[in-house]
């Protein structure tokens, strides 16, 4: 079982940048597809970004070009660099691990972190 701990959330102004980290322990994430999801107030949880074992990354349309997802298998950590933040990016951000698939489907993620809050003010 892997434990995932997100950090880096903060309250910022529109246009600012943040880098979220997701540190894994208990198991290497080298063989996992890793995803970032978010849930805003009163909203469903939604996909943000994922990075496959190969390092290839994929993004939701709403963040493509502004966010970058990367992984450091030596540090057993995944990152989400968020630039040009908007108020609509405000949410609790979660990372998750999919050890069996490519991370394409949310239902396949079997380990989740507790989340980190990002608040963007206009």
* Structure confidence at residue 103 (pLDDT): 87
Provide the terminal-to-terminal Cα distance of the chain, rounded to the nearest Å. Answer: 40
* Structure confidence at residue 98 (pLDDT): 96
* Structure confidence at residue 24 (pLDDT): 98
Longest dimension (CA), the chain: 40
* Structure confidence at residue 56 (pLDDT): 95
Cα(17)–Cα(109) distance, rounded to whole angstroms? 27
Per-residue pLDDT of the chain (122 residues; tens, 9 = 90+): 899 999 999 999 999 999 999 999 999 999 999 999 999 999 999 999 999 999 999 999 999 999 999 999 999 999 999 999 999 999 999 999 999 988 889 999 999 999 999 999 99
DSSP label at 46? E
* Structure confidence at residue 101 (pLDDT): 85
The secondary element (H helix, E strand) that includes residue 49 is strand 46-51
Angle at the Cα of 49 from the Cα atoms of 99 and 60, rounded to 5 degrees = 135
């Amino acid at each position: 079982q892997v434990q995932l701990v997100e950090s880096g959330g903060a309250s910022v102004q529109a246009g600012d940048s943040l880098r979220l980290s997701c540190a894994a322990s208990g198991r290497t994430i080298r063989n996992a597809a890793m995803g970032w999801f978010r849930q805003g107030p009163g909203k469903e949880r939604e996909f943000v970004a994922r990075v496959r074992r190969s390092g290839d990354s994929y993004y939701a349309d709403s963040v493509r070009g502004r966010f970058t997802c990367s992984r450091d298998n030596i540090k057993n950590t995944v990152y989400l660099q968020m630039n040009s933040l908007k108020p609509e990016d405000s949410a609790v951000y979660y990372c998750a691990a999919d050890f069996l698939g490519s991370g394409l489907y949310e239902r396949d993620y079997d380990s989740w972190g507790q989340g980190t809050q990002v608040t963007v003010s206009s």
